[in-house]
């Protein structure tokens, strides 16, 4: 099996979100896949299999060092960057089967005609489910666990749980400067996650109109063994749904999400809300990726 180290949501090595990609995983049992993921615990692993039905073009399974995950956004970007570089897919749409079903993964040529590493890879997700606003008392407990002063929370936007594959608590704050102040108490945060049913905490600041509509964020997932996640595609799909429901994407259905700066692994997610007749139909998540290394797993 060929193995690759890939940085996703960036075109600069050693930034963005790292993922391990393993090609030709057909015939490997679950225990072997889990063992490989534990061998490379610094990054989530995407295992690529041949299609087993005419409904899709490729199958991908995702693991972290603890368990299998139904879907991982940055590892999807990484897997298709490898497939493109290996000549196993081209531009256009590829149908991927994974734990959340079949989704379209498109590759768009770099506008300047650069090498495949500059191609934009985009997947389309159905709309995540948003919970009711969190009570302020509970939100302040989360802020305390993050060691974030309550005064840095957003004046009007509430914290809300969002679910798509996993569950994240979306916590809006007043401005991007507040992100640098966060120093989580991971034990308290993990306990709060268990209480709320949240696998992670996505803290974000949104530059509303007349600014560019972009966002800055940090994500903490102690329950998954990930103290801080550099760049998350899935969380940005949740964020797009949140902003849409709050009316903050009106007239501006696309934005850029920036993440990873505090970890010195900056990356960017391009987010587009698909809106038809005033309804949010889906969210498209796009980014670039760069292959850092490749090799072969010993038999």
Catalytic residue from among 44, 122, 228, 268: 44
Helix residue ranges, H only, the chain: 30-39, 73-85, 136-145, 186-196, 233-245
Domain identity same for 202 and 252: yes
pLDDT of residue 113: 53
- Token pair in block for residue 207: 């530059």
**Cβ-contact 266, 15 below 8 angstroms:** yes
Residue 271 lies in a domain: no
Give the global pTM: 0.92
Q: Determine the structural domain holding residue 166 and report its residue range.
A: 129-265
**Cα–Cα dist 169/172, whole Å:** 10
Q: What residues in the chain have per-residue pLDDT under 50?
A: 116
Query: How far is the C-alpha of 54 from the C-alpha of 239, rounded, in Å?
Result: 33
User: At CA 94, angle to CA 3 and CA 127, rounded to 5?
Assistant: 105
177 is annotated as an active-site residue: no
The pair phi, psi for residue 237, each rounded to 5°, is -65, -40
Cβ neighbours of residue 173 closer than 8 Å, sequence gap 6 or more:
148, 152, 153, 154, 179, 203, 204, 205
Distance of CA 39 to the CA centre of its chain: 22
Residue 277 counted as domain residue: no
Here the CATH number for the domain that contains residue 7 is: 3.10.310.10
Do 143 and 242 belong together in one domain? yes
- Is 198 contained in some domain? yes
Specify whether 29 is located in the same domain as 144: no
Q: What is the pLDDT of residue 116?
A: 47
Same domain, 135 and 260: yes
Q: Which two tokens stand for residue 255?
A: 């934005």
Q: What is the DSSP letter of 41?
A: T
Q: How many domains does the chain have?
A: 2
Q: Is there a domain that residue 283 lies in?
A: no
Q: Same domain for 115 and 20?
A: yes
């Amino acid at each position: 099996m060929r193995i690759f180290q890939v940085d996703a949501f960036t075109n600069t090595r050693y930034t963005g979100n790292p993922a391990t990609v393993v090609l030709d995983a057909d015939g490997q049992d679950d225990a072997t896949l889990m063992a490989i993921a534990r061998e490379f615990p610094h990054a989530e692993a995407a295992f690529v299999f041949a299609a087993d039905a005419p409904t899709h073009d490729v199958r991908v399974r995702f693991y972290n060092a603890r368990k299998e995950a139904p879907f991982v956004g940055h590892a999807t970007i990484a897997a298709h960057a490898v497939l493109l570089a290996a000549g196993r897919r081209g531009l256009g749409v590829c149908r991927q089967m994974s734990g959340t079903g079949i989704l379209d993964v498109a590759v768009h040529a770099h506008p300047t005609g650069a090498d495949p590493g500059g191609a934009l890879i985009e997947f389309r997700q159905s709309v995540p489910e948003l919970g009711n606003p969190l009570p302020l008392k509970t939100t302040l407990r989360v802020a305390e666990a993050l060691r974030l002063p309550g005064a840095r929370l957003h004046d009007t936007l509430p914290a809300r749980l969002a679910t798509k594959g996993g569950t994240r608590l979306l916590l809006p704050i007043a401005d991007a400067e507040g992100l640098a102040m966060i120093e989580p108490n991971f034990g308290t945060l993990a306990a709060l996650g268990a209480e709320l049913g949240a696998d992670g905490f996505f803290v974000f600041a949104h530059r509303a109109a007349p600014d560019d509509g972009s966002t800055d964020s940090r994500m903490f997932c102690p329950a998954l063994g990930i103290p801080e996640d550099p760049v998350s595609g899935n969380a940005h799909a949740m964020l797009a749904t949140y902003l849409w429901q709050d009316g903050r994407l009106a007239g501006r259905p696309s934005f850029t999400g920036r993440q990873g700066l505090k970890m010195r692994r900056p990356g960017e997610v391009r987010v587009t809300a698909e809106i038809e007749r005033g309804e949010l139909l889906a969210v498209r998540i796009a980014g670039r990726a760069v292959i850092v290394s490749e090799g072969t797993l010993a038999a």
